[in-house]
Amino acid sequence: MKRFLTTALILAISILTNSCNEELFFPEDIRNSITAPEIHSFEPQRGSIGTEIVVSGRSLSSAIRAYIGTAGENPVEIVQRFTDYSLVLRIVGTEMTGPITIVNNIGPTTTTEQFIVDQNIPNITPPLTLEGGGSLSQLVDGQRILITGEQINAIRRVTFGEGDLLEAGRFIDRGDAFLIVEVPYLDISSGILAPINIEYMAFGVLQTPEIARLPVENVFVEPLITNQLPTQVAPNRMVILRGSHLNRVSEVFLSGHIDSTWTIMSQSRNELRVLVPDFTAGTTEGNLTLVHNRALVPEPQTEKVVGFISVVNEGALNFVFYRNVILNVNRYYGGEGADFSGNENFNNFFNADNGQIFSPCDHQVINIADVTTFFFSITGTAIRLNNPSNSGNEFFKFRCSGEQVLEPGLIGTKTTRFRRLNWQTHAGAAELRDRLLGSLIGAETIEGLYLSMLAGTTHAGTNIHVNDTLPTANVLDFRGSSVGVAPADNNWHVGDILMFRELVDDRWGRFGFLHISAVNPGPNFNPENPTSQAPEDRQESSVLVNVWFQREAE
């Protein structure tokens, strides 16, 4: 009974809503066509490190991770996504006998059958030597060691040192009978004996036998930074340092500020990634300083300043998200007496403030000057995204009936400026694209995006800074383009992300983003040659977009 009443109430609300306004409606949540992977079969049924497994099924081209054994703990390498029906995996040495799990953005799928992982135990032939020959008598930063024997491919890692001073070597080349590993920087004084251990899995247990113990020969080397650092960053953002001997860095901090140590997230000889700490509100400035070679030379000679940086702590931008908004183009006005056959009820306008889409009939009672909106239209040569401030020559084409025509005077005071993100040439735009597309999968929020990242004036470092050359054009036209060739900045096609920003009384307002999910250009429209058809031949066109729009400042 309770369930019946709930259903009846929902139905009544729906009927009442539709009866009040048949044309004004909110975008439907049309789910992505991608489905979870299906695994029909796999071969071979068993193998060891290096074995390639061919998986057959469906929705396999969208796979992002794969596991054998306990999901999440034993990843295998995805070698090749041939088609949507075929996937090749490779055993890397961390797996245990168990089912195969494949994951895409929709979810995981696990086989009922198990893949048997053969346990290979490496058998090392002493002694260890240098690559290219020569005896190995000490450990020097950067030298390459040759390890030979049987089933050497089973070795997952080679470590040097122990306890807090343990470091992993970098694999240069490997095969079933040999392994070449590069000695890492060891923060140990010369003459101290350091153990060399190998790691491999056997019977579900990590094995770490010692294969040698040699003295360390260490010399002072100053790290070198070769990339340009950002001049401004935000808290909890990643800063990337590139150069040489960066594995000798033990600490990064901002000079003159207590407790400003930056967390080292990853480190190698040529790259160092550090996380900016959460400074207090406002701007904090200082010299970014590296501590290196700590055990070799007493401080303060181990400190090196690499650049002056400002940390701007501001509130993250808050966006509202609208999924799968469908917009139709305006129905072309063919002159007095033209028969539109009911086409006036198609929805052409989108209001980014509240997610409403509406038709010209709805538009008669909506003051376009009060909302941030854009619309989808056709011109003599193209189908385009447009905005109220540029609409004097477009609104006359929008009709509610044969007797009503929107006057050119109905033009909004808010301008919407568009820009296509060019991530092929702009690292900041690529980072922003990844954040936006990632939010489609997760909670539909853009994490850690600050105004200074969008409205900056430099492309340096990891700052996004995509607004510094925002064009003055108020429209973007749909154009076809060759595969792999990006359109011009004032054009767009499927898969693009467009940034838009409102401009009120010559002052910039809020940011928004459009992800062009799909385009139906109509039965007679050729995007490769948009001028070859009359505008009325394109009146069936529609576009499907995902929209993010910055909320009002709190």
User: Rounded to whole angstroms, how far apart are CA atoms 23 and 237?
Assistant: 45
Two tokens at 159?
A: 């470590």
Model confidence at 463, in pLDDT bands (50, 70, 90)? low
Residue in 80, 86, 85, 51 with CA at minimum distance from that of residue 68: 51
Residues 432-438: what's their mean pLDDT? Answer: 84
Q: How do residues 120-158 score in pLDDT, each as one tens digit?
A: 889 999 999 999 889 999 999 999 999 999 989 889 899
User: Rounded to whole angstroms, how far apart are CA atoms 317 and 551?
Assistant: 8
Question: Residue 147 carries which side chain, given as an amino acid letter?
Answer: I
103 near 37, Cβ under 8 Å? yes
Is the pLDDT confidence value at 32 over 70?
Answer: no
Two tokens at 53?
A: 């497994």
User: Rounded to whole angstroms, how far apart are CA atoms 225 and 306?
Assistant: 7
> Taking the C-alpha atoms of 232, 234, 237 and 241 in order, what is their torsion angle to the nearest 10 degrees?
20
* DSSP 8-state symbol, 185: P
Two tokens at 169?
A: 């070597």
> Does the CA dihedral 488-490-496-502 come out positive or negative?
positive
| Chain centre to alpha carbon of residue 269 | 26
How large is the greatest C-alpha to C-alpha distance in the chain, in angstroms?
Answer: 97
Q: How do residues 355-392 score in pLDDT, each as one tens digit?
A: 888 776 665 555 655 666 777 776 666 777 877 665 55
User: Rounded to whole angstroms, how far apart are CA atoms 518 and 506?
Assistant: 33
Model confidence at 55, in pLDDT bands (50, 70, 90)? very high
Q: What SS3 state is found at 152?
A: helix
Looking at residue 171, what is its pLDDT? 94
User: Rounded to whole angstroms, how far apart are CA atoms 110 and 38?
Assistant: 9
Is the pLDDT confidence value at 173 over 80?
Answer: yes
Strands 232-233 and 303-313: parallel
User: Rounded to whole angstroms, how far apart are CA atoms 128 and 479?
Assistant: 62
Query: 81-85, 165-169, 311-315 — which is least confidently predicted?
Result: 311-315
Is the pLDDT confidence value at 12 over 60?
Answer: no
Is the pLDDT confidence value at 317 over 90?
Answer: no
User: Rounded to whole angstroms, how far apart are CA atoms 524 and 539?
Assistant: 9
Q: How do residues 322-352 score in pLDDT, each as one tens digit?
A: 988 888 876 554 444 444 444 456 777 788 8
> Taking the C-alpha atoms of 475, 506, 470 and 487 in order, what is their torsion angle to the nearest 10 degrees?
10
User: Rounded to whole angstroms, how far apart are CA atoms 334 and 326?
Assistant: 24
Q: What SS3 state is found at 342?
A: coil
CA atoms within 13 A on the CB side of 370: 5
Mean pLDDT highest for which of 181-185, 291-295, 475-479, 500-504? Answer: 181-185
CB atoms within 10 A of CB 139: 26
Looking at residue 17, what is its pLDDT? 40
520 or 403: whose pLDDT is higher?
Answer: 520
> Does the CA dihedral 134-140-144-147 come out positive or negative?
positive
98 or 315: whose pLDDT is higher?
Answer: 98
The domains located in the chain, with CATH, are 38-117 (2.60.40.10), 123-217 (2.60.40.10), 224-313 (2.60.40.10), 315-554 (no CATH)
392 near 550, Cβ under 8 Å? no
The answer for residues whose C-beta is within 8 angstroms of residue 458's C-beta and 6 or more apart is 230, 231, 465, 468
Residues 24-44: what's their mean pLDDT? Answer: 64
394 near 535, Cβ under 8 Å? no
Looking at residue 554, what is its pLDDT? 44
Percent of the chain past pLDDT 70, that is, above it, reads 69
358 near 347, Cβ under 8 Å? yes
Question: Residue 342 carries which side chain, given as an amino acid letter?
Answer: G
Is the pLDDT confidence value at 162 over 90?
Answer: yes
User: Rounded to whole angstroms, how far apart are CA atoms 399 and 22?
Assistant: 17
Query: 105-119, 202-216, 281-295, 359-373 — which is least confidently predicted?
Result: 359-373
Query: 189-193, 449-453, 547-551 — which is least confidently predicted?
Result: 449-453
User: Rounded to whole angstroms, how far apart are CA atoms 464 and 430?
Assistant: 8
Helix (H) or strand (E) holding 271: strand 271-275
Residue 411 class from Cβ within 10 Å (0-12 exposed, 13-18 middle, 19+ buried)?
middle
Residues 159-184: what's their mean pLDDT? Answer: 93
Two tokens at 321?
A: 């998200």
Find out whether the peptide bond into 122 is cis, omega within 30 degrees of 0.
no
CA atoms within 13 A on the CB side of 420: 21
303 or 342: whose pLDDT is higher?
Answer: 303
Model confidence at 462, in pLDDT bands (50, 70, 90)? very low
DSSP 3-state percent helix, strand, coil across the chain (nearest 5): 15, 40, 45
From first CA to last CA, the distance across the chain in angstroms is 44
CB atoms within 10 A of CB 135: 8
Looking at residue 139, what is its pLDDT? 96
Residues 274-280: what's their mean pLDDT? Answer: 86
Instruction: Using only the alpha carbons of the chain, give its radius of gyration.
Output: 30
Is the pLDDT confidence value at 44 over 90?
Answer: yes
122 near 151, Cβ under 8 Å? yes
User: Rounded to whole angstroms, how far apart are CA atoms 29 and 339?
Assistant: 33
User: Rounded to whole angstroms, how far apart are CA atoms 363 and 134?
Assistant: 83
14 or 272: whose pLDDT is higher?
Answer: 272
pTM score: 0.47
Question: Residue 54 carries which side chain, given as an amino acid letter?
Answer: V
309 near 237, Cβ under 8 Å? no
